[in-house]
Structure 1
Amino acid sequence: MALTEGARRGRALVVRLDSAGDVLLAGPAVRSVAARRGRVTMLTSPLGEAAAHLLPGVDEVMVWSAPWVLADAPPVRPAALSELVDRLAAGGFDDALVLTSFHQSPLPTALVLRLAGVGRIAAISVDYPGSLLDVRHGVDDDIPEPERALSLAAAAGFPLPPGDGGDLAVRRPLPDTGHLTGPGPYVVVHPGAAAPARRWPPERCAEAVAELARRGRRVVVTGAPSERGLTAFVAGRDGLDLGGRTGLAGLASVLAGADALVVGNTGPAHLAAAVGTPVVSLYSPVVPAVRWAPYGVPHVLLGDQLAPCRDTRARECPVPGHPCLSRVAADEVAEAVDMLTAHVLEKGDAR
């Protein structure tokens, strides 16, 4: 079932039920849908809600905790499912795109959407969908997540609009955070990550802050309110600790003003890409970099990409000592920052 050429009205639902980074990576696909539908609602998790509000093309955000997606999965409750079906039915959606990663099935979500009477449901599925999908798409797993989502959007009749290059993006203007960062250039170090396997050890982060400061750089350390102890330790005497002092939009603003971001494979890496900031990625290979590396911006991947933990999808490192990241030294990170900032100056900063 393909859309007729010129269809520009109606209501569409885009589903991405995991975390902020995954939602940000869905941004180009959301814009593709928004170019052909009059109103776009995004259904996401509590972890992805703030990111969904930042995406151009999203008119409304619905929040639900899916038992088949979240790492800390809630129990399956018939009453909660029934309530979700009713909320979706009230939306009167003509179309739905169910966006997933390669290891997730879209079919439980598709069943809920079918019960809600959604007109046309599209997803990537290797499993037989029966009557749950109207558009069953197949795609190579080893492509970047934004391109995977765009491939589904195009298959469902929502190609990128003319002039849209498919980069990550956030709504502008962003809040002014100059009073937090102070004047002049700076580099951001973000030490936290939801999965311990994707974190550079705090001691290494602190060493990097000290090394960057030794090289004459001003360093800003960011983190969630729950990470204030971590950010204070990492900032030490050489960095400016902004742990817990920004929401996601404020963090986007801080990153937009930075020369570079030093971070693990976590949501702020994708937020930096969405505001055009280069990324030094301390990348644990528990998930493939070809799919989740910073997208569309200059970046350097550090860490042993052939380590024994490769492709395990482990949240806790299965190898004692976390060697894939712990062996990365502070001077390697500082040199990567120097290289990226020199590259941006050579090419011209278009941010």
Structure 2
Amino acid sequence: MIHPDWQDVKNILAVRLDNLGDVLMTQPALRALKRSLPQARLTLLTSSMGRGIARMLPEINEVMVFDVPWVKLKGQNIGEEKVLRFVEDLKNRKFDAVIIFTNFSQTPFPAAFLCYLAGIPRVLGYSRENPYQLINYWLPDHEPFVPVAHGVQRQLDLVRLIGATTKDDRLCLAVPAEAKRAILERLNKEGFDHHKPWIVIHAGVSEPKRQYPLRNFAKVAELVTRDLGLGLVLTGNEEEKAAVRQVAASARGKAVDFSGQLSLAELVALIGSAKLLISNNTGPVHIAAAVQTPVVDLYARTNPEHTPWKVRHKTLYFDVPSAIRSKNTTLVHSTPKKSRPTPSPKQVVAAAKELLGLQGNVRIGREVSTWS
């Protein structure tokens, strides 16, 4: 049952200011809000990195985009004048309530302060300390000092505080028909036989600490095409084209390189059509979960709450090099002290074979496991 103070809200702001995958993992909580408060208009405030996927979520009525100074950006200085103008924009929109979604390693306070200045009367969020007037509906944040919940479950737990629930906690993306047609046309143009089994490898990642070694990805591409006889499509953004070419070279002409060529909708369509995705732990892993494509997730031991959600998967962990590990103390606390070797290309391919139909210990992802 919805909290009495929230029953009459008509205009809700949801705040998720980071990457594509984080926005997508918030979808079930947004669905809970939409279904529990059907009279309310739901606006999502996100970053330029999250805007594309946000516009594909049917739960959202409107997407606002603003890159805030406390989220990592590439070479962009926001400036105080832009922030103050943005606060005025928030004030003019007359939101009844705001929900601030964060990972356990993030603070809600900068976003809460903007909303305080904008005069939004109801603020829901996690906090490790009493936030007083900044967050007047708050859930004590015990992570990572207790076992860490999956990011999807974390956000569902937050909105449950005001009585918003849903039985449908899946990630779900509808693949646009025109994007499906565009992918088939691209594959046909490359002479790619998309009627036989084929997979996608995404070797790029949004931050270096989560990068599975490129030389290993290259060997995986070689083994997939040579030993398994699978078709292979490689993806990445414009900045990752050189790295993807390195991986493509190992496939000896048997891989299609789509790096820097696909729209987000086309990437969703491509992953949705593939038999399997092999990827660093980054946005495409969560897209795969949303279109129910099995995934081998090469997972740097950074934040443990982002494993694949409710999709057939194998998660293979590896350590972040000590020189580039996060200085965030919550992440340091959650990182195991005992090191583990980086999975070999043969181990990656073995995981792929299990997901492609061989017998093995394949699980449906839901809860975060310990770092194993």
| Aligned counterpart, 2:311 | 297
Provide TM-score, normalisation by structure 2: 0.82
| Aligned counterpart, 2:216 | 204
Cα 1:90–1:100 shift into 2, 3 Å: same
CA distance in 1, matches of 2:185, 2:4: 50
CA distance in 1, matches of 2:278, 2:142: 30
- Once the 2 structures are TM-superposed, how far is the Cα of residue 202 of structure 1 from its aligned partner? 1.5
| Aligned counterpart, 2:53 | 51
Q: Look up the SS of the partner of 2:356 in the other structure.
A: helix
CA distance in 2, matches of 1:277, 1:68: 34
Q: Look up the SS of the partner of 1:33 in the other structure.
A: helix
What aligned pairs does 1:80-159 form with structure 2 within 5 A after superposition?
80-141=82-143, 142-159=148-165
User: Does the Cα contact within 8 Å between 2:128 and 2:141 map onto a contact in 1?
Assistant: no
- Once the 2 structures are TM-superposed, how far is the Cα of residue 46 of structure 1 from its aligned partner? 0.9
**Match status 1:230 vs 2:243:** yes
What runs of 5+ residues in structure 2 fail to find an aligned partner? 333-338, 363-372
Match of 2:207 among 173, 195, 200: 195
Provide TM-score, normalisation by structure 1: 0.86
| Aligned counterpart, 2:275 | 259
Q: Look up the SS of the partner of 1:303 in the other structure.
A: strand
| Aligned counterpart, 1:336 | 351
CA distance in 1, matches of 2:119, 2:79: 20
User: Does the Cα contact within 8 Å between 1:27 and 1:56 map onto a contact in 2?
Assistant: no
Match of 2:172 among 169, 172, 176: 169
Equivalent AA in structure 2 for residue 283 of structure 1 = Y
What aligned pairs does 1:212-291 form with structure 2 within 5 A after superposition?
212-214=224-226, 215-236=228-249, 237-288=253-304, 291=305
User: Does the Cα contact within 8 Å between 1:14 and 1:42 map onto a contact in 2?
Assistant: yes
Percent of paired sites with the same residue: 30
Cα 1:205–1:274 shift into 2, 3 Å: same
Q: Which of 169-178 and 117-126 deviates more? A: 169-178
Match of 1:67 among 69, 83, 107: 69
CA distance in 2, matches of 1:135, 1:73: 35
User: Does the Cα contact within 8 Å between 1:282 and 1:301 map onto a contact in 2?
Assistant: yes
User: Does the Cα contact within 8 Å between 1:139 and 1:151 map onto a contact in 2?
Assistant: no
| Aligned counterpart, 1:179 | 185
What runs of 5+ residues in structure 1 fail to find an aligned partner? none
Q: Look up the SS of the partner of 1:228 in the other structure.
A: helix
| Aligned counterpart, 2:368 | none
CA distance in 2, matches of 1:324, 1:238: 33
- Once the 2 structures are TM-superposed, how far is the Cα of residue 22 of structure 1 from its aligned partner? 0.8
Give the CA RMSD over aligned residues: 2.9
- Once the 2 structures are TM-superposed, how far is the Cα of residue 286 of structure 1 from its aligned partner? 2.3
